Structure 1
Amino acid sequence: MQTRLTAGDAELTIDPEHGCRIESLRIGGTEVLRQGERYGSFPMAPWCGRTGNGLFRNGATTHQLPVNAAPHAIHGTVRDLAWKTARTSETEAVFTCELGDPWPYKGRVTQVFELAADSLTLRFGVETYDDSFPAQAGWHPWFLRNLGRGGQDVRVDFTPAWQEERGDDHLPTGRRIDPSPSSRLRSSRGYPIPGTWDDCFGMPDGVDVTLTWPEELELKVASRAEWVVIYDEPVEAVCVEPQSGPPNGLNTLPRLVTPIDPLEVESTWSWRRL
């Protein structure tokens, strides 16, 4: 059963039985997310983006994850699972999901949604019941490129400190490079996005990305997390994905979840009419 939150003229629809995905975010009656069972906005945990060849190590042990974006494993497991509803109110909802096969460790993921008239706050917690393990968490929203009201396409503004060089296998090579000329143009001048990015950027002061549909809506994606993936290849949508680590981070930048140190991540989307 879907869960609906309302605050002012904002309405959020969540589907806990299908990955605890945000199905819809309507602001003043206008939908801002691409619709469809693969879209909206889905949670990524216990890893984000691609894990190379589906392999990761935890100490001396190597684990094989299902390869669902050959040759890699992509976007974690919880988007494919049913979540339990812990509590709901008119403006807040909390859900939990158990980690397990095909993830090789037992644990729990908690996701919190808090809706206000001009913002949505999202919180993740990843905890282990026993063994420590590396993990990541983040969100994968599909923002509409055009709001369908006769206006212009969305423009993206952000100022990353670096770009992760992307290899032919779509994984970061390990080199941090200056943001490419096209990304500098788009971030500093707010150009419409022609569709060339599937890249990770570092923002050590926290993710801060603004999407602007000119003369319609401005929406800011912010997080204390230091990593954001921008994916704009689809014609219909633009993805701005705040996450706790880079693609293949289980291997290259592992963040260990222990019984006394869960992984916690937060993101806020705030908006205003133009």
Structure 2
Amino acid sequence: MSDSEESNSEAGIRLTAGDAELTITPANGCRIAGLRVGGTELLRQGERYGCFPMVPWCGRTGNGQFRNGAVSHQMPLNSPPHAIHGTGRDTAWHTVSAGDSTATFSYELTEPWPYSGLVTQTFELTADSLTLGLGVETHETSFPAQAGWHPWFLRNLGGSDAEIGFSPAWQEERGGDHLPTGRRIEPLPGPWDDCFGMPDGVDVTLTWPEQLELKVASRAEWVVVYDEQAEAICVEPQSGPPNGLNSAPRLVTPLEPLEMGTTWSWRRL
């Protein structure tokens, strides 16, 4: 990468399509720092917010521990007593390509993650949608992994609070340790910091009355909804449930990488 490209990566890479503008910061976990539609920012601002990728695991991993066959591993407890949201958000990513409305980034898995591999994130912006992709490949040894996104959508736009619309088939019962117990229950009313099952694919709509409607869709069947903060609502499509490295391991093998995608689409009201 040239000096000018490196500087651009640190400052943020900007994609545009129609009146939509996306800013990505590869040096800060390859997160979306901002998404503006018609000049209106949709994401909570700040270096911890925007929208970050969750990889190579999503949500909490119980006590930071997981197994790969007979081998046990310990991750740093960055949300004691658990490890949360993976390592990708704390990593500087490499810019593979960046055009007017598309971009691709990658980073090599390294410590504290115990296996080598490559993570790739793609962005495709149109005037009324954003499509994101995550891929996890192994260089040699198979390992369990997850991938997903953690967007912080602003609760209030133009004086209107967002309404959440979705019809999950079940809710993962949450234990006192904040991890799913393994039981599936009827969805409970919010506020939530909970994982839901949508076996036909994630389909969640945020509606800011008289402002904007935004739909989060994915072929994945798990979504975490977090709306316990006054400033934002998080709708997090992910390839498995929290603690899924232990409860629902999905192996990344040399022949079968993990691929995850989501599309946000919007329209003015």
Q: TM-score range by the shorter chain?
A: over 0.9
Q: Distance in 1 between matches of 2:110 and 2:195?
A: 28
Which AA in structure 1 matches 2:263? T
Is 1:170 the counterpart of 2:178 in the alignment? Answer: yes
Q: Report % sequence identity.
A: 74
SS of residue paired to 1:247? coil
Give deviations 1:205-251, integer Å, cap 9, x for gaps: 00000000000000000000000000011110000000000000000
Q: Matched residue of 1:250: which SS?
A: helix
Structure 2 CA distance, aligned partners of 1:34 and 1:155? 16
Root-mean-square deviation (CA, aligned residues, Å) is 0.6
Alignment of 1:141 with 2:151, yes or no, is yes
- 1:214 matched to 2:209: yes
- Counterpart of 1:268 in structure 2 is 263
Q: Aligned to 1:48, what secondary structure does the other structure show?
A: coil
List aligned pairs for 1:1-274, cutoff 5 A.
1=10, 2-147=12-157, 149=158, 151-180=159-188, 182=189, 196-274=191-269
Structure 2: unaligned runs, 5 residues or longer? 1-9
Distance 1:126 1:110 in 2: 7
Structure 2 residue identity aligned to 1:155: E
1:190 aligned partner:
none
Whole-Å Cα distance in 2 between the matches of residues 156 and 243 of structure 1?
Answer: 18
Aligned with 2:178: secondary structure?
A: coil
Distance (Å, rounded) in 2 between the aligned partners of 1:75 and 1:164:
18
Structure 2 CA distance, aligned partners of 1:30 and 1:228? Answer: 26
Unaligned runs of 5+ in 1: 184-195
Runs of 4 or more above 3 Å deviation: none
Taking the aligned partners of 2:164 and 2:205, their CA distance within structure 1 comes to 6
SS at match of 2:183: strand
Q: Deviations over 1:240-268 (max 9, x none)?
A: 00000000000000000001100000100
How far apart, in 2, do the equivalents of 1:266 and 1:49 lie? 17
Deviation at 1:100, TM superposition (A): 1.0
CA distance in 1: counterparts of 2:230 and 2:41, whole angstroms: 17
Which amino acid in structure 2 is aligned with residue 54 of structure 1?
Answer: G
Q: Deviation of residue 152 (structure 1)?
A: 1.7
Output the TM-score relative to the length of structure 1. Answer: 0.94
SS for the counterpart of 1:76 is: coil
Name the amino acid aligned to 2:121.
Q
Distance across 1 between alignment mates of 2:193 and 2:107? 28
CA distance in 1, matches of 2:212, 2:69: 47
Supply the AA of the counterpart residue of 1:84: H
